[in-house]
Amino acid sequence: MEEDFTFAIIKPNAVRNKHTGPILARINEAGFNIAAMKMLSMSRLQAEAFYDVHRGKPFFDGLVEFMSSGPVVVMILKAENAVEEFRKLIGNTDPAKAEEGTIRRLFAASLQMNAIHGSDSPENARKEAGFFFSGFERFWS
Ligand code: IDP
Ligand code: MG
């Protein structure tokens, strides 16, 4: 199968707790290549737009508040079957349900502060990557 990509965010709790390095190491050890990466702080408006699909849900306001609470690391990750393989590596949304050894199981502080985001489809990976990386930064395709 052709190598494709996914989009990921190391969330504010993980950056704050100095888990960026250990998380990046696990991503590389799992066979992903980091094709683009930067650290930035999301505004409330950006966080709202990024999670627009969850607008209206009970956890939306808290999620937006959390995601704009400090620096995050956004990246494009390349691997065969990247979207699916990365979702396996990060584990269930709820860290209590995530398998042993997954990034969320290891580094999440709670269901909301679950350390990392991974796109749920190739279409969303493209859309979400376009949110943070300009045409000049698109090394992945
Ligand atoms: P995902 O990140 O595994 O794709 P989604 O259902 O898309 O999970 O939810 C997006 C993010 O919203 C989650 O990663 C988590 O940070 C937060 N979230 C989801 N459900 C809840 C909840 O019930 N309470 C608090 N936060 C939640
Ligand atoms: Mg999702």
Site to substitute for ligand 1 among 61, 103, 112, 116, most atoms within 8 A of C-beta: 112
Is residue 81 pLDDT above 60, yes or no? yes
Distance 117 CA to ligand 2 centre (A): 8
Classify domain 4-132 at the CATH topology level. Alpha-Beta Plaits (3.30.70)
Atom of ligand 1 nearest to the CA of 87: 3
pLDDT-derived band at 139 (thresholds 50, 70, 90) equals: low
Distance 59 CA to ligand 2 centre (A): 13
Ligand 1 atom 8 nearest Cα: 93
Render pLDDT for 119-129 as a digit per residue (tens, 0 to 9): 999 999 999 99
Q: Residue 24, SS3?
A: helix
pTM of the model: 0.96
Q: What are the residue numbers of the active site?
A: 117
Ligand 1 atom 3 nearest Cα: 93
Sorted by sequence, the CB contacts under 8 Å of residue 29 that are 6+ apart come out as none
Is residue 18 pLDDT above 60, yes or no? yes
Residue ranges per structural domain of the chain: 4-132
Check if the beta carbon of residue 60 is closer than 8 Å to that of residue 51.
yes
Is residue 135 pLDDT above 50, yes or no? yes
Check if the beta carbon of residue 64 is closer than 8 Å to that of residue 11.
no
Measured between alpha carbons, how far is 98 from 21 in angstroms, rounded to an integer? 21
pLDDT attached to residue 140: 55
What are the backbone dihedrals phi and psi of residue 128, each rounded to the nearest 5 degrees, phi first? Answer: -70, -35
- Other Cβ atoms within 10 Å of 50 Cβ, number: 21
pLDDT attached to residue 1: 44
